[in-house]
């Protein structure tokens, strides 16, 4: 469906270089998976900057509506507004399990520090986190994002759309800020980095992924 016959689709959207917000909204509405900005650009024929700008417009337009624009790295997706959560939960019949404190703690570390290896998570928590991490992976709150280029090529973990949806966030920028005092103190002492880079992957520079992509696609996504 999407991705086929891009030229004719571009024509339908009002010509190359143009991407009305309503067309963008319609495209995201019908898409049953997250779309990358690059994919939208090639579908619509609009330049990447236009796509970014229209997505920004759409996000603002949707603020008071029942749907929201979510973004994870390069990809965007429409989701229902958190205010409608109770009703939607009744419709889809989801009965998720409450997360344990250990799961939440691990999830917070992954969310704020992604991409991060299991070793780095365990150094922060001070305890084996394999089981907790696996259960988060199983619930798709944590996703694999590639592998670090360090010895053993450990898996790098991050969060995706399921995480944002679970916590009613539209992007990682929406995460509640970390305790400013503590963060400042850690930065000042230079402790934070020494803890995470010790003997394991430094996640920032050793990541094997294409910087162009911004966000590594999960295994089921097909970026254009």
Partner 1 sequence: MVVTSPRSSSVSVDAGARPDRATHVRLEAFDGPLALLLSLIEQRQLDVLEVPLGDLAGAYLEALSGLGDARLPHLSTFISVCSQLILIKSRALLPRAPASETTTIEPEDDPEAELRARLVLYKLYRDAAGRLALRSIGNVAMAHRDADVAAAAGVAGAQPPAVRPLDSALLVEALSASLRLAPPTPPPPEVMPRSVTLAERSAIIRTALRSAPTFVLQELLRDVRDRVVVAVTFLAMLELVKMRELSVEQARPWGPIVCRAAPVADAHQGSA
Give me the residues that bind partner 1 (CB under 8 A), please: 29, 31-32, 68, 70, 77-82, 85-86, 88-102, 104-105, 107-109, 111-112, 123-129, 131-132, 161, 164-169, 175-176, 178-179, 181-183, 185-186, 189, 191-192, 194-195
The residues that bridge with 117 in the sheet, in sequence order, are: 156
Minimum CB distance to partner 1, residue 17 (Å): 28
222 dihedral zone (left: phi>0; alpha: psi -120 to 50; beta): beta
Residue closer to partner 1, measured from CB, 77 or 145: 77
User: Rounded CA gap, 1 and 16, in Å?
Assistant: 20
* SS3 category, 81: coil
Minimum CB distance to partner 1, residue 123 (Å): 8
How distant, in Å, are the alpha carbons of 9, 11, 109, 152 from that of 221? 20, 25, 25, 26
Three-point CA angle 77, 82, 85, nearest 5°: 110
Residue closer to partner 1, measured from CB, 63 or 131: 131
Minimum CB distance to partner 1, residue 110 (Å): 10
Placement of tokens 């898996």 in the chain:
155
Residue closer to partner 1, measured from CB, 21 or 102: 102
Residue 79 in contact with residue 67, Cβ under 8 Å? Answer: yes
Minimum CB distance to partner 1, residue 69 (Å): 11
Residue closer to partner 1, measured from CB, 49 or 181: 181
Minimum CB distance to partner 1, residue 189 (Å): 6
């Amino acid at each position: 469906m999407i991705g086929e016959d891009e030229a004719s689709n571009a024509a339908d959207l009002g010509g190359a270089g143009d991407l009305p917000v309503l067309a963008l909204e319609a495209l995201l509405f019908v898409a049953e998976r997250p779309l990358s900005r690059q994919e939208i650009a090639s579908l619509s024929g609009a330049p990447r900057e236009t796509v970014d700008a229209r997505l920004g417009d759409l996000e603002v337009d949707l603020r008071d509506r029942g749907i929201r624009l979510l973004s994870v790295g390069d990809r965007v997706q429409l989701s229902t507004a958190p205010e409608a959560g109770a009703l939607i939960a009744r419709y889809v019949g989801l009965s998720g399990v409450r997360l344990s404190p250990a799961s939440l703690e691990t999830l917070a570390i992954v969310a704020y520090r992604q991409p991060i290896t299991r070793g780095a998570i365990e150094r922060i928590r001070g305890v084996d986190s394999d089981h907790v991490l696996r259960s988060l992976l199983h619930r798709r709150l944590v996703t694999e994002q590639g592998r670090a280029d360090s010895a053993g090529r450990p898996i790098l973990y991050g969060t995706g759309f399921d995480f944002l949806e679970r916590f009613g966030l539209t992007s990682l920028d929406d995460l509640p800020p970390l305790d400013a005092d503590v963060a400042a103190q850690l930065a000042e002492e230079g402790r934070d980095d020494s803890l995470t880079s010790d003997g394991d992957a430094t996640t920032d520079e050793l990541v094997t992924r294409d910087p162009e992509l911004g966000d590594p696609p999960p295994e089921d996504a097909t970026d254009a």
